[in-house]
Structure 1
Amino acid sequence: MTASQALSILNHWLHPHKDDPKLPVSDAQETEKLIQSPSGCAGYQVGSGTILHQQQKLVEQVNEQLNLPEELQPLFDQTLDNLTHWLHLLPAHPQHHCEPAGAIRHALETAFWSVTATQQIHQDHELYPDQRRARKPLWRLMAGVAGLLYDSGRVVSCLMVQQESGEQWRSFDQPLGSWLQQHRITNYSPHWQQCETNAEKALPTDYTAINLLLLPQLTSQSFRNALQPDRDSGVLWQTFISTLTGQKTGHAVSQVVSAVELARLKSVKLHFVQGEALNQIMKPGKTEDQPKQENDQELDSLKQVISNLQADEIKWAKESLLLKWPDSVENQNLPDPEILLKQWNQRGWIRPIGNQIIFRRNGRQVIALQPMISSECTKWFMST
């Protein structure tokens, strides 16, 4: 359990609602039953900890990708708590993630793919190597929070929650969780209003500009200070603001701005495969922007590498399978190791250690696979 979840659950215990129905946290079919109509998904008065517990596996995967030092992890956790309290059990869009807490699920998926994509982007060219390494965690934090918050302006703009008495949630002024507690509302059904944007197109600036209105409420001063260190040229902060607004201006790293938008689209498109974008880690399938044949080739390449491992070559670091790199893929009629590394990293299969995708262990260069795909790999080498 992450620090974010522990703090949220503690907050829920301190402010109990004995009569409130509890959201199922382990049975996906029960969760689906909460969907009442195309106009909105049912929601109950529950704490942020309960909502995040339902997404615990995904939160852990995001934190694995972030790989933040102890002093930075709370900055992401606090933002996630704030966003969860603000959006509560709202869905993300009529066309995708339209289930209770769908907006939070979509935000976490976008954060995951944002961090994955930006790891391949080179920043801080003007700095010395040791300075660049020191700032790598800040870039990952920036990308994760930008992905987490990127769709928040559209969600609060498109959804309406109203009491029977007619009083409406003021979505820009107060978290939905606080509003429900204030008015002792035990259940509600949000409704879409003026949400005609195509989910598979880039967000219009009408929505991304609203992200800035929510920024002071969803991020802490400590987070904002972290992105504006002393004597910094402002690249981190400018890139963060440009990413939230979708505008490639000033000192912003334009590749990061594009990467976060593409991460959102990836979450949207892959959602339609069994409803979970991260299912693609284990079961890549056809998406509109990548032919199925290419997906099959990537999975077949990984399976070939794993199947050819000898017993003494099967090494683990915690729950991650380690592969000698590039030794494990050479002389196997496979694509160039650099191509494979890029493909596998784009799929979210590779787990960075420290700031590196390739690192040294016992004098050899290795890569680590994410725990979920590592578990899938055991089927291949155990059957040989």
Structure 2
Amino acid sequence: FQTKALPELSSQLDAEIPRYPPFLKGLPAASPEDLQSTQDELIAKLRQVIGFNQRDFQRLIQPCIDHLAAYVHLLPASEHHHHSGAGGLLRHSLEVAFWAGQAAEGIIFVASGTPVEKKELEPRWRVAAALGGLFHDIGKPVSDLSITDEDGRYQWNPFLETLSQWTTNNSIERYFIRWRDGRCKRHEQFSILVLNRVMTPE
């Protein structure tokens, strides 16, 4: 019987055993494309519920998801409640987008107009509902969290660039989060201020 070398065993434990408090070792500066690849199934379901073909989805919705992934990166959605793990905010945003798009099916949003006109507007309202769900927590990185490099030398300014851009521009391999005090519901006030970071002109 031969035991594993200590460094190898330590590395395996780090990868397999959750630690508390979480994120003591920071979060890796992974590419937004790699982050999205973990959510391929949910993104495919979102496309189906919106009712777009692949071409229209890639043109109108996918850029919004690209920007969101670059902006929120691996941030959690909450400290102790739902989606509190790494990548929780991205996952939660996609889930709410799916649920909102699904809930909008068959809903009459306008009373005026002919049946044909109302039918033509249905996809637009469905997209609006899904995008509202996708971006409903976009203010959390501004109001709830402080993001720095390991030494605290660099701090992310969410008004100036995405989190992904910040790590790239400052050659940061891992970043660290701190939850702000008195943050309850404050993100709702900040969402509109950073919406232009993730919304596209289309």
TM-score, scaled to structure 2: 0.82
Change (3 A) 1:35 1:218: farther
How many residue pairs end up in the alignment? 186
Could you say which residue in structure 2 is the equivalent of 1:207? 187
Give the counterpart of 1:172 among 159, 183, 192: 159
Deviations 1:108-143, CA, capped at 9 Å, x for gaps: 111111111122421222111221121111111111
2:67 paired with 1:87: no
Whole-angstrom CA distance in 2 between matches of 1:61 and 1:91: 22
User: What secondary structure sits across from 2:83 in the alignment?
Assistant: coil
Which runs of no fewer than 5 residues in structure 1 stay unpaired? 1-28, 198-203, 223-384
User: What secondary structure sits across from 1:189 in the alignment?
Assistant: strand
Which structure has more RCO (C-alpha within 8 Å, separation ≥ 6)? 2
Could you say which residue in structure 2 is the equivalent of 1:155? 141
CA contact (8 A) 1:90 1:102 kept: yes
Q: CA deviation at 1:213?
A: 0.8
Sequence identity percentage: 25
Q: CA deviation at 1:49?
A: 0.9
Q: CA deviation at 1:155?
A: 3.4
Whole-angstrom CA distance in 2 between matches of 1:41 and 1:133: 52
Between 115-124 and 132-141, the greater mean CA deviation after superposition: 115-124
Which runs of no fewer than 5 residues in structure 2 stay unpaired? 1-13
Amino acid at match of 1:141: V
Deviations 1:252-296, CA, capped at 9 Å, x for gaps: xxxxxxxxxxxxxxxxxxxxxxxxxxxxxxxxxxxxxxxxxxxxx
Amino acid at match of 1:58: L
User: What secondary structure sits across from 1:71 in the alignment?
Assistant: helix
Deviations 1:307-364, CA, capped at 9 Å, x for gaps: xxxxxxxxxxxxxxxxxxxxxxxxxxxxxxxxxxxxxxxxxxxxxxxxxxxxxxxxxx
Q: CA deviation at 1:36?
A: 5.7
CA contact (8 A) 1:107 1:149 kept: yes
2:95 paired with 1:109: yes
Could you say which residue in structure 2 is the equivalent of 1:78? 63
Change (3 A) 1:47 1:85: same
CA contact (8 A) 1:35 1:99 kept: no
CA RMSD of aligned residues (A): 2.3
Amino acid at match of 1:211: S
> Which 4+ runs in 1 deviate beyond 3 A?
32-36, 38-42, 69-73
User: What secondary structure sits across from 1:219 in the alignment?
Assistant: coil
CA contact (8 A) 1:62 1:111 kept: yes
